[in-house]
Amino acid sequence: MVEALDDTAVGQWYRTAVEVLSESRGRLDDLNVFPVPDGDTGTNLLLTAQAAVAALDAEGSRTTEPAWSVLARGAVLGARGNSGTILAQLLRGLADQLAGQPPADGPAFAAALQKAADAAYGAVADPEEGTFLTVARAGAEAAGAAVDEGRTALADVVRAAADGARVALEATPGQLAALREAGVVDAGGAGLCLVLDALVTTVTGVEPARPPLARRDEGHRHHSGEHLPHPPPAGPGSEVQYLLADTDEESVARLQERLAALGDSLVVVGVDTPSGREWNVHVHVADVGAAIEAGIEAGRPYRISVTPLAPVAPSSPMPGTRAVVAVVSSDGLAELFSGEGVRVVTCGPEGVGEEDVLEEVLASTAHEVVVLPNDAALLPVAGRAATRARETGRDVGVVPTRSPVQGLAAIAVSDPARRFGDDVIAMAEAAAATRWAEVTVADQEALTSAGRCQPGDALGSAEGDVVVIGSDLAAVACELLDRMLSAGGEMATLLVGEDDELGDTVCRHLATAHPTIEVIRYGGGPSGIPLQVGVE
């Protein structure tokens, strides 16, 4: 009998949990009908628990960190899906309370479990009752009640938690219509019950006697269809998940607000790592590009995954075909992008509207369409057009390109043979990895981030901010490139406007000052922008 949870016991708990979840993965997947019936809850819980144990195996012998901390970090960084991310948050909540403390006895574990359950609720943007969260809270409350009644031994507390969670699980069909109609309990809650039973086995040495998890009721499974779990309604169509580094609490808060407006099933969990705090971000959205863009603006997203939540509707036009639609600002750019097999919408004197973009998306007759706005000001326009196009059954992703050079970088990595979601991710990552800049001519006096400019001055801007002011276009262009390349880079893409001599001068400078940089030069840039630059 284990009297308190030390590092060895904590590690054994999660190893046992992995074994149990592995045995029950198929049954948990079969129960999965909420928030969407994608049949992967058991798989996601198992992968998350395995990530926690893998971290302990990799780091346990090389670190003095408590096992709680290592397991929590592994779980958060390796969490999969909605339920897996909430499980990781629960473990991180326990670690926040128990790491670095004496081995947890009954009262300490009960108090930590309650705070962890509260933290799990806080990590979910719009918590629902009758789910994993409800089961977690019930288990914590039962553990606390055992302590209040004088049953303070660790074995009594963990048994109470597991029993309380199981009672709450059986009640979940009465709390969620989707579960009731399908004749199942909540899959995530069922997985948590298995994890808590694994804890009982670790502490007492005796596996709790439980009836096996029932698969979906046959009467519901073979009914005429009235009570089958329904596919997701129109709206969020993909699960987007990524890790986020190089950020802060304020940026993450803004990210949560933005993602909550874009979709649902939003869970954001943070954990401390040797290189700083990182976050696991999970959301269901219709606009994959917007969700990734929000992460790019908040920090550095990586390990991005996109999983479709529903099959293509039968009425969708021409399944399997794909197109790219780019917004451009000149005939030269239109010719350049068209030459790459891209459909174009050319901005006129009055700009471009969502109707123009929508018309081109629909005219493509493709089921899968990527939209490249190529201008920060056009991102909302492209997003609205994409939303309207999805209402016709098309799968549309907006890659948040803020400059034509980012659009060219995205096109360079596009691969129609890839799954659509993966292709959108690859294009978005290529665009995000391309730092963009441009050289323009001031048309009026103004105060810029680089100082005051006068009409006729050459302005060198990087990512939208003026960083160089001068009287000579070529000198400003060369200094701008020097500044950009000082931060590193392997390739420079030049989009030259009407002044070919400017392009020649810049190319000579790069060949002399940065001989290892690969240079790709295009003509056809808009007349009002002598030079646009991308650095990768």
Question: May I ask the CATH class of domain 238-308?
Answer: alpha beta
Query: Has this prediction a pTM greater than 0.85?
Result: no
* Per-residue buried b or exposed e for 253-286, using 16+ beta carbons within 10 Å of the residue's own CB: eebbebbeebbbbbbbbbbeeeeeebbbbbbbbb
pLDDT < 50 stretches in the chain: 216-236, 311-320
d(CA 300, CA 450) in angstroms, rounded, equals 26
Q: What pLDDT was estimated at residue 251? A: 94
* pLDDT confidence of residue 142: 95
Tokens found for residue 135: 């089961």
| Residues in a beta bridge with 236 | none
Protein fold of 322-432: Rossmann fold (3.40.50)
Task: Output phi, psi for 457, to 5 deg.
Answer: -65, 145
Structure tokens at 463: 């990512």
Classified by CATH at the fold level, domain 437-535 comes out as: Hypothetical Protein Tm841; Chain: A;domain 3 (3.30.1180)
| Adjacency order of strands within the sheet including 263-273 | 263-273, 276-285, 238-245, 300-308
Q: Tell me if 75 sits within 8 A of 92, measured CB to CB.
A: yes
Q: Cis omega before residue 66 (within 30°)?
A: no
User: In the chain, which residues fall in CATH 3.40.50?
Assistant: 322-432
Q: Which residues, other chains included, contact 218 with Cβ-Cβ below 8 Å and sequence gap of 6+?
A: none
- CATH 3.30.1180 in the chain: give the residue spans: 437-535
CA distance 158 to 142: 9
What is the C-alpha separation between 304 and 503, in angstroms, rounded?
Answer: 37
Say what the pLDDT of residue 12 is.
94
What gap in Å lies between CA 114 and CA 139, rounded to an integer?
8
CA dist 5 and 379 (Å) reads 52
Phi–psi pair at 84, nearest 5 degrees: -65, -40
Region(s) of the chain under CATH 3.30.70.1710: 238-308
CB atoms inside a 10 Å sphere around CB 47: 18
Contacts of 307 (CB under 8 A, 6+ apart): 38, 238, 239, 241, 421
* Helix residue ranges per DSSP H, 172-287: 177-182, 187-204, 218-221, 249-262
Which pLDDT score, from 0 to 100, does residue 226 have? 36
Supply the pLDDT for residue 265: 83
pLDDT for the residue 524: 79
Of 490, 481, 460, the C-alpha closest to 472 is: 460
Q: Answer yes or no: are the C-beta atoms of 97 and 119 closer than 8 Å.
A: no
Helix (H) and strand (E) counts in the chain: 19, 16
Q: Cα(343)–Cα(363) distance, rounded to whole angstroms?
A: 10
> Residue 418 has which token pair?
């890839």
Distance from the Cα of residue 370 to its chain's centroid: 18
Fold of 7-221: 1.25.40
